[in-house]
Amino acid sequence: MELRGWQLFPRAGLVRLRRGTRLDLGGIAKGWTVDRVSEGLIGRRIRAGQLNAGGDLRVWSEPGLPAWEIEAALPDGFASNAPSFRFALRNGAAATSSTLRRQWATPGGNRHHLIDPRSGLPAASDTVQCTVVGTTAAEAEIAAKTVLLLGSEDGLRWLERTFPLCDALLYKQDGTAIGVFGKHGDAEWKEGGGIL
């Protein structure tokens, strides 16, 4: 089977990429690894656990054990009066992507590490940080980065189509926050101290 010049060999689990294709699995590899280690621990009957690899998080708790309380970080440089959120999660994963970390100055202006594959340049959307709660860390990582790259409107439409059971918290350049809560059946979101 051929897809955009790539050859797929599903039975063998292989893909042949076009000469010159560049592939960066840095972001998804972290989430995938968190999922594999978590599944290994769950398989060894570890009753509850939390694995966090620099923003890619997976948690689990057996019935009768408390849920994990997780604070969604405020974006770097946001005022302390910006809305802050936290959520309780018994089983699931979360990932956060931000354009406000890993920045550097260039003669053409500030740049960051999240590259938009459509332009080959650092992403330029209205969203500066996105946290997604999903079933797996890899799923949450893919969704958080994609929503951030697409921006609030297109990103949330994409999320609804692609991962309809994920929750999302977006912080925009203007300092406002957008929350899509209640899709992930196990996450209970709170703003400050109140349940949403």
Residue 8 lies in a domain: no
Domain count within the chain: 1
Rounded CA separation 196/193 (Å): 10
CA torsion, points 8, 11, 13, 16, in degrees to nearest 10? -30
Residue 133 lies in a domain: yes
CB under 8 Å to 55, separation ≥6 — which residues? 95, 96, 97
The pLDDT tens digits along the chain (196 residues) read 545 567 888 888 888 887 777 666 666 788 999 999 999 999 999 999 999 988 889 999 999 999 999 988 777 777 666 778 889 999 999 999 887 676 556 676 665 566 666 666 677 888 888 999 999 999 999 999 999 989 999 999 999 999 999 999 999 988 888 898 989 888 999 887 555 4
What pLDDT score does 49 carry? 96
What pLDDT score does 99 carry? 76
What pLDDT score does 196 carry? 46
User: Is the separation of the CB atoms in 141 and 133 below 8 Å?
Assistant: no
Residue 7 lies in a domain: no
Rounded CA separation 94/85 (Å): 13
Residue 38: CATH number of its domain: 3.10.520.10
- Beta strands (DSSP E) in 22-136 are 48-53, 56-61, 68-72, 85-89, 92-98, 103-106, 109-112, 115-116, 121-122, 127-134
Q: What is the side-by-side strand order in the sheet with 187-191?
A: 68-72, 85-89, 187-191, 194-195
Residue 23 lies in a domain: yes
pTM attached to this predicted model: 0.81
Residue 6 lies in a domain: no
What pLDDT score does 128 carry? 87
Residue 134 lies in a domain: yes
3-state helix/strand/coil string of 106-140: ECCEEEECCEECCCCEECCCCEEEEEEEECCHHHH
Give the N- to C-terminal CA distance of the chain in Å, as an integer. Answer: 47
Range of the domain at 80: 16-191
